[in-house]
Copies of this chain bind each other. A is one copy, B any other.
Amino acid sequence: MKCGCARARLGGGAGTNPSEASDVPDIQRVAPERAQPGHRPGRSSIVRGEIGVGETLPPEMQICEMMDVSRTVVREAIRTLTGKGLIESRPKSGTRVRPPEQWNQLDPDVLRWHLETAKIDRYLAKLFQLRSAVEPAAAALAATHAGEDDIARIRAGCDGMDTAKTNEDFVAADIKFHQAIYFATRNEFFWPIAQMFEITLRQSFTIAAPGSHRPRALREHRAVLDAIAAGDAEAAREATVLLLAHSADDLVRIRGREFETPPAPARRKR
């Protein structure tokens, strides 16, 4: 058990958090599920990779005394992390960190933890790759599957963008618009992607909006809405492709080259 002389925190953002200290602190790190929006972030060193993949973290009892909480709390935290696929615990061998491929990358919490540690540009780029794949298809499905209420929600998003005064309102309406499209597919497999979209964008909503070209964005959003309302799947797809392309342009313009380059060229075979 070289494990880690009290250094292996379940949620230990160690030095990153200002203030903190005090006597009550680490519980909130351990119990990620209690992380309310307003709560302080620092947690889950697993996502950070501070605890190697496949390696076991200290036994429950040890964790208990490390952060001075009861085993109940520790177990609940473990249960939560297990549910998100981060760890896996078996009776005698302890609790192990599962390989990153297996954990639920779209889970809201996992997403947030990642956002705290990762390069934001890389992350936005990857997110955009997924959006580019999914959202046109979602719009097309929405065109053929949406009900009246779905369309009303989409329109509400559009209108909200129109009448928004503050930047924040604008982004909020924007998010609602896109979410409504995902829901309008009537396909629950698309919904988690909408969730992810919301979280990621809400975390970094200062990035995109200020630099974007609002009138054009509005026009394009409404084009998508119209196509969906008309039930024209192809038009909806194309309008979405256009919207995403311009949105990507905006991001590149604001964030610079780093955004547009693929995250990991890795190999240049051939």
Contacts and interface: CB of A to CB of B under 8 A. Distances in A.
B13 A82 contact: yes
Contacts of A190: 129-130
Contact of A266 (B79, B83, B186, B195): B186
Nearest to A183: B101
Contact of A83 (B33, B130, B144): B33
Interface stretch (A38-46, A104-112, A217-225): A104-112
A119 interface: no
A106 to B, nearest CB: 5
A189 B196 contact: yes
Interface stretch (A14-22, A56-64, A249-257): A14-22
A246 interface: no
A104 B105 CA distance: 11
Interface residues of A, number: 67
A228 to B, nearest CB: 10
A137 interface: yes
A106 B183 contact: no
A267 interface: yes
Identify the interface centre among A13, A15, A133, A185: most chain B CB within 10 Å of its CB. Answer: A133
Given A79-B33, A270-B231, A102 B189 contact: no
A134 interface: yes
Given A33-B79, A145-B262, A189-B130, A85 B16 contact: yes
11 contacts: A15-B82, A16-B83, A16-B102, A83-B107, A105-B192, A107-B107, A133-B138, A145-B262, A145-B266, A186-B263, A230-B270
